[in-house]
Structure 1
Amino acid sequence: MSKRKARPQSGGPGHGGGHMMMGQQKAKDFKGTLWRLLSYLKPFRNRLIAVIAAAIMSTIFMIAGPKIMGNAITKLFEGIYGKLTGVPGAEIDFGAVGQLLLLLAGLYVISSLFSYIQQYLMSIVAQKTVYQLREDVNQKLEKLPLKYYDGRPNGETLSRVTNDVDLIGSTLQQSATQFITSIVTIVGIIIMMLTISPLLTLISIISLPLSIFVIRPVLKRSQKHFMDQQRSLGQLNGHIEEMYTGHQVVKAFGHERKAIAQFDEVNEELYQAGRKAQFISGIIMPMMFFIGNLSYVLISIIGGILVIKRSISIGDIQAFITYSRQFTQPITQTANIANIIQSTVAAAERVFELLDEEEEIPESKVASLTEAKGAVTFEHVDFGYGKDLLIKDMNIDVKPGQTVAIVGPTGAGKTTLINLLMRFYELNGGKIKIDGIDTREISREDLRTTFGMVLQDTWLFNGTIKENLAYGKIGATDEEIYQAAKAARADHFIRTLPEGYDTVLNEEASNISQGQKQLLTIARAILADPPIMILDEATSSVDTRTELLIQQAMNRLMEDRTSFVIAHRLSTIRDADLILVMNQGKVIEQGTHQDLLEVDGFYADLYNSQFSKTAAV
């Protein structure tokens, strides 16, 4: 992924692990996808011309070989035949034969040199093309809205970015040069065969349209199965990725058999699609060999008759038979490459589907939040994930420096409110303003760097603890990192680790406890020092004593800055300046802790359900 401006963000909002699987489908537009893929080669036109030129030169020197070899055989035959028939002065001209063989060796060396040049240039073209394709995919992933990731398994997207792009790269690298060489070889061999015998050439050429006629329906039929194969591979990757990252949950709930059964089902689909694709496409090669052998037999019989009638020399017929075998080989290669192209176009279509996904609304930056004070206003905000609105006519006014607690039952819309604040989703109606500026008039980067997020679901990457903390601030010094860790009460446990701040966390950060991971994300947010903080149950994974220490650090962190705190344990937000009580997407109550208890409404019921009524007073 391309480098972004670092944000004090412990992870995105809950993705839920959507399981939207793609249905069975075949390539919707084979020709359109192929031309679109070829359009990526346009910037490398000059190199491609050089590749074609090298292929032509390599082929010319290569196809001249059988003719020269035929001449050498003719020389040998004439000398031997002359001696056997008693022709006066008949002898084998070893000098001429030697010169022909030396010339032949030189031609093959030069042919190999041009072949190397062709492969070298094509490798550059292929790698740069795939590089650009990866860049486009990467940039697209940065522009996709959060709802795209919420609605698809991560493994499915990963399969498109890795497997499908790699397949395109390997096809360009290996098959493109073979295709060019095969086409040039076919043309060159036809020309050489015409110089030897137009009749025999006609017999050979007849096999070409016959081959195309035979394999065309096979190619069409295999196309669907190649598409199914790539789709099933994406599903399998998605399932494996989910089962691997959530293996503890799978084991805890005893779902091993269900997970294995689902794996077997998808794996069976992949097997069936791959088997059918390879079986149907595998028929092409035997059919091509059969047609080629029929042509070979006819050429041998008719050629033998022509030699007996002295219409053609024995060396020429030997050269022609060699050409006929070489003529079949590039046709077979072309058919095999067409096979590969079916799979490649199927992969390219999946990549282009990703590139054609609806992007986030383009930026319309007209304002900057480099020195945000922290005033936040919701004006008649409407929002829904689908057609039905979850939030209707929400109005909130938060003053700079206030601590705002958001409470409510599960599904009330608390996290949704944060998603809208960070502009992870676009509003259906209304406005959200920061310091009086509509967030849609601020670049997403400026907006999101204004916020620091500490979420219940921690996010740490594979790297040292120091690198994970420094993610919160570009150019952070070691001293700043240590001070942030101390403020978050993380410094002590970090220094007790074998490598201290240089301890490497694995990809899941499973070599430290959940509570320790939470402390690191809090330290990262403290290091970032943003004007607005978002805390989503930030202390939910730590013990009571550590929670008190973190709460003290949080109180200092939240001084003189606007803070949004999502809380389920209402004891942690008694001192909030404003408590927003949400239910079914609406703010049904708001005020201070004491004010809401006096109202004796929804908040009071929530609070009293956690504490005794005597404690509430």
Structure 2
Amino acid sequence: MRRILKYLLKEKWLLIIGTMAMVFIILIDQVTPMLQKIIVDRGIINQEYAIIPSILLGFLIVTLLKAIFGYGKEFLYDYISAKVHYNIRTELFSHIQSFEFDYFDKTNTGELMSRIGEDIENIWQTISFGLRMFVENILYFSFSTVILFYLNWKLTVICLLILSPIGILAYKLENKLNDGYEEISDKTAEINTRAQENISGVRLVKAFSREKYEIERFFSLNKQYYKLNLEQAKTISKSFPVIEFLANITLIAMIIVGGYFVLIDEITIGTLVAFSGYIGNLIWPMRQIGWLMDVLSKNKASTMKINNIFDRFTKINSNSGKEINTIEGDIEFSNVSFKYDDELVLRNINLNIRAGSTVAIMGQTGSGKSTLLSLIGRYYDATAGDIKINGVDVKDINLNTLRKNMSVVQQDTFLFSDSVVNNLKFGKVDATVDDIISGANKSCALEFIEELQDGFNTEIGERGVGLSGGQKQRISIARAIIRNAPILILDDSTSALDMETEHQLLKNLNEIKKGKTTILVAHRISAVKNADLIVFMKNGEIVEKGTHNELIDKKKYYYNVYKEQFKDFNNLEVI
């Protein structure tokens, strides 16, 4: 609740005004039973008929004031809750954006969607309804209790003794509900994850005819979710009959004992009527206590989940470090090693990449090529050794500055569900039309983009659905070209292209990468043979490096790949 209070305090003046309106309404409500007492004792019993019009006018004024201040209270509390809801969701999303790759490797998308969605909705409901009702109930109970003691302390004590078990019941109910809603929150995250994975991977599910299997898996999760909610419903439903029973017993006791006090002239009939109104103000909060405990328990579970995210800070700080005006692209790896979950992925990497040069990295799947590239932009931090750019350790460079000087095409091509042009401008929002057309042309994407239904304004589906693998790769490469950063990283970015398109694209890249430091991962000799330096990796180590001709002469790993890829050509020459 402390974090929610922090957001509430940002709107403290509106909260104070809304609360003052609430208090005023509650105070007005305390007048109504007193008016009833006067009209019964004086207007009817004592036959002072002249005061009846004044009392009725009093009722009308009270009703109008309640309506006016009630509107203000409802609007202000709804406005505050909406504002807090907006601020928490915005800050939570921003905080998640600050995390390093490692967090997303270990956290399901569905879980994060649950935190941003259902959990924040629970907080909104708590502020909009729960918090307001909680404060109202306390004030109603407090004011009414004071007046009840004033009217007749004996009758008040009897009523409070009957109602007191409800407080004990509420305490036990909260503890039971808290545990249940924590499980429900976790199960909601699981359901969201399963749904998100299946909807995103629906083509794979249908390709393997696994619809029934996936439906059964989802049904199993949904059934568990249903059972957890059913248990919560049973817990809540058990409390309501007890609360209703005690509330009704209180009313019966008030009528019996109060009637007896009237008979012995300890109180007047008007006092009993007023007492009935105030005891209603006392019983009403008690009847709401089950619902309040339900709302507050949901909020407690959701707040705990959200706090777990807010309390986690990125291991890679983006704000610290030097601001470097110009990054030329000299990159140096010195005895670099990297562990992922205690598994050594890279070991003792030593590599010098000169500014403006082209370095190609080859190796078997899982040899650490992509991981090596991820260390340059600090998507992960090396666990040993140093990585320097322009002679400065990357850990000492402001993270935003570092990444703004890099154009990256990742192995897992990702396009947003947006227009083609907005995807192209993602790396450079102020790109001109000439920049976009030039980038698309150099990536060999211009021709197929112009053939799309709406050209550059064509909306593409989630993750580029509707485009082929090669088309998605070419748009991603165009996006990197348009960014025009001094360091260009291509992580196996031409794997889905045919040989002819790849040849033309690499030819275009050779023209634009002059003065840029280019690092590319590829599996085809044709893509790497013209690089200034070729690095071959195996089991997280650099096992050989050199130019194409030097590595051919060594007749080791690179030579074996060359021989395998060109064996048909060599056989043709022999024939």
Give the TM-score normalised by the residue count of structure 2: 0.94
The answer to whether residue 168 in structure 2 is matched with residue 213 in structure 1 is yes
1:73 corresponds to which of 22, 26, 40: 40
* Cα separation, 1, equivalents of 2:44 and 2:442: 96
| C-alpha distance 304-506 of structure 1, shift in aligned 2 (>3 A) | same
2:338 aligns to what?
383
Cα drift, residue 128 of structure 1: 3.1
Q: Distance in 1 between matches of 2:126 and 2:321?
A: 45
Tell me: CA distance 1:253–1:592, structure 2 relative to 1, closer, same or farther (3 Å).
farther
Distance 2:95 2:244 in 1: 45
1:15 matched to which residue of 2?
Answer: none
Which residue, out of 22, 46, 51, partners 2:18?
A: 51
Look up the SS of the partner of 2:381 in the other structure: coil
Could you list the structure 1 runs, at least 4 aligned residues long, displaced by more than 4 angstroms after superposition. 363-366
Partner of 2:228: 273
Output one character per residue of 1:326-349: Cα deviation in whole Å (capped at 9) or x when no partner: 311112223421221111110000
* Partner of residue 247, structure 1: 202
Q: CA RMSD in A?
A: 2.1
Matches of 2:541 and 2:87, distance apart in 1:
46
**Equivalent residue for 1:420?**
375
Instruction: Give the whole-Å Cα distance in 2 for the aligned partners of 1:215 and 1:373.
Output: 66
Q: Secondary structure at the match of 1:505?
A: coil
CA contact (8 A) 1:487 1:523 kept: yes
Q: Which amino acid is 1:448 matched to?
A: R
Secondary structure, aligned partner of 1:525: helix
1:163 corresponds, among 118, 126, 144, to 118
1:156-555 matched pairs, under 5 angstroms: 156-363=111-318, 365-555=320-510
Tell me, yes or no, if the aligned pair for 1:229 and 1:270 is still in contact at 8 Å.
yes
SS at match of 2:428: coil
| Partner Cα distance (1:215, 1:182) in 2 | 14
More moved, 433-442 vs 489-498: 489-498
Structure 2 unpaired stretches of 5+: none
Comparing 418-427 with 137-146, greater Cα deviation is found at 137-146
Cα drift, residue 122 of structure 1: 2.2
Partner of 1:599: 554
Give, in angstroms, the shift of residue 482 of structure 1.
1.6
Q: Partner amino acid for 2:352?
A: D
Q: Secondary structure at the match of 1:226?
A: helix
Which structure's relative contact order is higher, taking Cα pairs within 8 Å and 6+ residues apart? 1
Distance in 2 of aligned mates of 1:100 and 1:171: 38
> How far does residue 365 in structure 1 lie from its aligned partner after superposition?
4.8
Secondary structure, in 3 states, of the residue corresponding to 1:508? helix
Q: Is structure 2 residue 513 aligned with structure 1 residue 558? A: yes
| Separation of aligned partners in 2, 1:153 and 1:182 | 40
Is residue 2:5 matched to residue 1:38?
Answer: yes
Q: Which amino acid aligns with 1:399?
A: R
What is the rounded CA distance, in whole Å, between the counterparts of 1:373 and 1:508 in structure 2? 33
CA deviation after TM superposition for structure 1 residue 366, in Å? 4.8
What's the CA shift for 1:107? Answer: 1.0
Change (3 A) 1:403 1:331: same
Distance in 2 separating the partners of 1:469 and 1:119? 46
Write the distance in 1 (CA, Å) between the matches of 2:487 and 2:8: 47
- Asked if the contact 1:364/1:441 (under 8 Å) is kept, the reply is no
C-alpha offsets along residues 349-371 of structure 1, whole Å, 9 cap, x if unaligned?
A: 00000112241233575544432
Give secondary structure in 2 for the equivalent of 1:565.
Answer: strand
Residue 480 of structure 2 aligns to which amino acid in structure 1? A
**Which residue identity does 1:261 align to in structure 2?**
E
> Does 399-408 or 62-71 show the bigger shift?
62-71
Letter in 1 for 2:51: A
1:146 maps to what in 2? 101
Tell me, in whole angstroms, the C-alpha distance in 1 between the residues paired with 2:381 and 2:130.
44
Aligned equivalents of 2:323, 2:27: Cα separation in 1: 64
Higher relative helix content: 2
1:29 alignment counterpart: none
* AA at the equivalent of 1:307: V
Question: Which secondary structure state, in structure 2, belongs to the residue aligned with residue 542 of structure 1?
Answer: coil
2:4 alignment partner AA: L
User: Alpha-carbon deviations, 1:103-142, whole Å to 9, x = none?
Assistant: 0121122123222222233233323333332343133213
Name the count of aligned residue pairs: 572
Amino acid at match of 1:431: D
Match of 1:64 in 2: 31
Q: In the alignment, residue 49 of structure 1 is paired with which amino acid?
A: I
